[in-house]
Amino acid sequence: MATTNLSSYDKATIPNAKPFRFGMVVSEWNPEITKNLEKGALEAFIDCGVLKENIISWEVPGSFELVYGCKKMIESEKVDAIIAIGNVIQGETKHFDFVCEGVTQGIVDLNLKYDVPVIFCVLTDNTKQQSIDRSGGKLGNKGIECAVAAIKMAAIKNGTLKGKPIGF
User: How far apart, in whole angstroms, are the C-alpha atoms of residue 134 and residue 114?
Assistant: 29
**pLDDT, greater one: 66 or 92:** 66
Residue type at position 18: K
Does residue 120 contact residue 16 with C-beta atoms inside 8 Å? no
Element containing residue 141 per DSSP (H, E): strand 140-141
Active site members: 95
pLDDT of 1 > 50? The answer is: no
Residue 115 CB burial class (10 angstroms; 0-12, 13-18, ≥19): exposed
Phi, psi angle pair for 25, to nearest 5°: -115, 120
Confidence class for position 33, pLDDT limits 50, 70, 90: very high
Could you please state the CATH topology (level 3) that the domain comprising 18-157 is classified under. Answer: Rossmann fold (3.40.50)
Q: Could you tell me which residues are beta bridge partners of residue 157?
A: none
pLDDT of residue 6: 76
Domain positions in the chain are: 18-157
Q: Closest by alpha carbon to 17, among 45, 58, 59?
A: 45
Report yes or no on whether pTM surpasses 0.85.
yes
Q: Could you tell me which residues are beta bridge partners of residue 122?
A: 86
Angle at 108 between CA 62 and CA 38, to 5 degrees: 45
Percentage of the chain surpassing pLDDT 90? 88
**What integer best gives the mean pLDDT of the chain?**
94
Q: What is the pLDDT of residues 49-69, one digit of tens each?
A: 999 999 999 999 999 999 999
